[in-house]
Amino acid sequence: MNRNWDTIREILTRLEELPNTDSVLQLSDFTTDQAFEYSYHTELLIEAGLVEGKMFRNMDGGPTAFVNNWGQSSIDLPVLV
């Protein structure tokens, strides 16, 4: 799957809008028709260390929830904003 910068931007924007760093961004916060795309891009952000979090999966292997908060590297994202 190709990276969709609009999807990444939306994930980061929603993260920034969370009330505090204890809040969690979940797959249910996004439209269900693009659940795979959101989870794929969130997993990329977690693996790159741009956000802190963990991918949780249900019994069939599909993702259910993900991000805890911003990572230290988020300062270096001018291209995405």
* Tens-digit pLDDT profile for residues 44-61: 888 888 888 877 766 666
Ranked by mean pLDDT, the top range of 3-7, 17-21, 26-30, 48-52 is: 3-7
Distances (CA, A) of 60 to 7, 36, 50, 54, 57: 24, 13, 27, 17, 8
Confidence band of 73 (pLDDT split at 50, 70, 90)? very low
- Encoded tokens for 8: 């990444």
DSSP class of residue 17?
T
Residue type, 24: V
Q: What is the pTM of this model?
A: 0.71
For residue 39, how many C-alpha atoms fall within 13 Å in the half-sphere facing its CB? 19
All structural domains of the chain? 5-72 (1.10.10)
